[in-house]
Structure 1
Amino acid sequence: MEGFEALTGDPWHAPATAGPATGRRLSVVIPAHNVGHCLRSVLDALAAQTDRGGFEVIVVDDASTDETAAIARTHPAVTRLVRIKERSGAATARNIGTALAVSETILYVDADMLLPEHVIADFSARAAGNLVLVGFRHNLPFGDRRGVLLAGTRPVLEGDHRVRWRPPVGRRLMYSGLVLDKPLDGRPLDDTEDFRDLGFGRTYYDWDLPRMAVTALLGVPRGAVLDVGGFDSEFGRIGWGMEDTHLGAKLIAAGLLVVPLRQAVGFHLDPPDAAAQWEAKLAAWPRTLDRYRRLLELPAPAGRATEFTAYANALRPRCEVLR
């Protein structure tokens, strides 16, 4: 952070201003499944970014049954659109997008993340070959969406659980298994000095450093992702969650630094059936967490770019290029 500020004169956590981009060109990779309720707004926001250096947008439609593919096929913000013929999960979709990307930095963005106009430039200016750049999300309930967006309200940093966290009392926490006996107004980001106090096995209650790598909004060097073998696609088969945590763990083991961008906050647009989707995700959590724990017992992967390319090529018959 200090080196960037000394070189540019700009604060690390300040939003980028409009103007020519001086950073790295990005490939924005968006996995999408049945997000017709929000995808057009998400792509409109990408089209309105202040970044002037140019960035590509790759949408990978994971066998949607709604208008997701139709929206992406005609939207001017989309550079490439690939559709997976059979549902494969977000990990596989992100791997396909990563294989197609041409930029040295990948920005993983969820298809329900609405980004303020400066966010692409924020990542572009700060991207480096040794950094995992972490953005944040402010959940916006479906019923509140229209009023909030019409009012021009901006997402706030404390809307993310990694920033302000109020865990349940008397129940086992999802990740660590800890049981708290009194209320906690947790501040993971602040209390760990922007994640500096994590890593090397250190934790903040239910949080560790890999869990801070959330692919709702995450910037990573493409070469590093290929070198560690990309996302483990098995997570998408068995349920929700942990594929991004596992990628974070692999990149940390490879020596990359996990650094937050406090100004990079987007609205996470909840679907109409958010409660039902959340229950389904929680039901799958024990399976994905178990796989994650077992993968951590294996040697840290490295030198897997050739293996990843072969894997991506094997996926081609399962995909159709729509744009």
Structure 2
Amino acid sequence: MTITLAETLATRPNDHSTLRAEFEARSGLSWHAPTPAALAAGRAVSVVIPARNTEHSLRPVLDALAVQDTSGSVEIIVVDDASSDATAEIAAGHPAVDVLARLPEPCGAAAARNAGTALATADTVVFLDADMVIAPHVLADMAARSGPDTVLVGFRHNAPYTPALDGSSQVPAGTADLTADHRVTWRSSGGPQLYTGVVLDGPTTGHPLEETEDFQKLGYGATYLDWDLPRMVVTALLAVPRAKVLEVGGFDPAFGRIGWGMEDTHIGAALIAAGTLVVPLRQCVGFHLDPPDASDQWRSKLASWPDTLAYYRMLLDGPAPSGRAASFQNSTEQVLAQSEVITR
């Protein structure tokens, strides 16, 4: 009898207290403290940025990567998902970018991340959205804490579009606010919730990060309000072990063909089933730079979310993905063979 992905998730813990304690004893640093550059020495990361029509935000994102304060090696890979604006030109001209891959046609963020992961050379891949501006310590934070069985979760603070003189987004002054992330402060008007189906009596404010003890109480398939552990895995800012991503077959590109969202939740589920722990880094918060037409984009994205959610639920009823590294390599090689890849 085949054990389903959902059944496998129900057997997986998320107690990362020992992992955190070992890091703190070894480094003398709090798990959630910004990391001195020297602690990342000898620890390489490959930053994979899927980008489609993000000319409003890509330049400040790359500018922030160019000034990361880390002693570890950093490789920056931008995968242009057949943009129709200046996204590819911005990436090609930015000195921070090591590899630019231009897909021949729009394939979706899942396929773009797979292509970037195939090109990556580091054991740790940092997935970063093309509209996420991170603080100078973030890559050191992730590099110093990375491991073969650890998924490191960062957070985002949405910032409304404010144009600079060149039309790109201005980055807000100050520090991004952890509590602005919906996994930290979550509000619902009540009623049946779309993800879990739980029914709330009325308006509800929850604090998922705090009230689950940094997601530890979400082990063994547990839920909190409308949240579970896979849903905490958001690829806006996320560090993962590359080998585990290959083992589970990467992101399912069908999500991009169906609509928006859920591909990160699915790979979260796959990685948890493969034995990784999901551990937040409260100090890793980036400004998410909204596009000029943010409202229209959100309406379009949310319209297709029920379809991608239905597909995700179908995958939960199938087996946990494993042993898929060879098929991942074959499929991404086919995509990259049709793509333009520029390496500096």
Whole-angstrom CA distance in 1 between matches of 2:51 and 2:171: 25
* CA deviation profile, 1:36-88 (whole Å, cap 9, x unmatched): 00100000000010012220000000000110000000101100000011000
Whole-angstrom CA distance in 2 between matches of 1:176 and 1:38: 33
Whole-angstrom CA distance in 1 between matches of 2:193 and 2:86: 37
Q: 1:198 to 1:322 in 2, by over 3 A?
A: same
Whole-angstrom CA distance in 2 between matches of 1:5 and 1:52: 19
**Structure 1 match to 2:8:** none
- Higher mean displacement: 74-83 or 313-322: 313-322
Match of 2:264 among 240, 244, 248: 244
Match of 2:127 among 108, 111, 115: 108
Q: Does 1:123 align with 2:142?
A: yes
**Structure 2 match to 1:258:** 278
* CA deviation profile, 1:123-163 (whole Å, cap 9, x unmatched): 000000110000000111114999x9676311010010000
**Equivalences for residues 122-201 of structure 1 within 5 A:** 122-143=141-162, 152-170=173-191, 172-201=192-221
**Structure 2 match to 1:203:** 223
Whole-angstrom CA distance in 2 between matches of 1:283 and 1:150: 29
Does structure 2 conserve the Cα–Cα contact (< 8 Å) formed by 1:23 and 1:126?
A: no
Q: Does 1:298 align with 2:314?
A: no
Post-superposition shift, 1:15? 0.5
Structure-2-length-normalised TM-score: 0.90
SS in 1 for 2:188: coil
Post-superposition shift, 1:179? 3.1
Structure-1-length-normalised TM-score: 0.96
**Equivalences for residues 22-61 of structure 1 within 5 A:** 22=41, 24-61=43-80
Post-superposition shift, 1:315? 1.1
**Structure 2 match to 1:86:** 105
1:102 is aligned with what amino acid? T
Whole-angstrom CA distance in 2 between matches of 1:227 and 1:185: 37
Whole-angstrom CA distance in 2 between matches of 1:119 and 1:202: 29
**Structure 2 match to 1:313:** 333
Does structure 2 conserve the Cα–Cα contact (< 8 Å) formed by 1:43 and 1:77?
A: yes
Q: 1:188 to 1:23 in 2, by over 3 A?
A: farther
* CA deviation profile, 1:236-286 (whole Å, cap 9, x unmatched): 111100000000000000110000000000000000000000001111111
1:17 is aligned with what amino acid? P
Q: Determine which structure has greater relative contact order: mean sequence separation of CA pairs < 8 Å that are 6+ residues apart, divided by chain length.
A: 2
Q: Does 1:21 align with 2:71?
A: no
Structure 1 unaligned residues grouped into runs of 5+ = none
Whole-angstrom CA distance in 2 between matches of 1:211 and 1:116: 24
Match of 2:237 among 187, 212, 217: 217
Post-superposition shift, 1:186? 0.7
Report % sequence identity.
58
* CA deviation profile, 1:187-213 (whole Å, cap 9, x unmatched): 000000000100212100100000000
SS in 2 for 1:153: coil
SS in 2 for 1:185: strand
**Structure 2 match to 1:235:** 255
* CA deviation profile, 1:107-136 (whole Å, cap 9, x unmatched): 000000000000000000000011000000
1:266 is aligned with what amino acid? G
Give structure 1 regions of 4+ aligned residues with deviation exceeding 3 angstroms: 143-146, 148-151
SS in 2 for 1:218: strand
Match of 1:67 among 69, 86, 92: 86
- Higher mean displacement: 301-310 or 116-125: 301-310
TM-align CA RMSD: 1.6
Whole-angstrom CA distance in 2 between matches of 1:73 and 1:250: 33
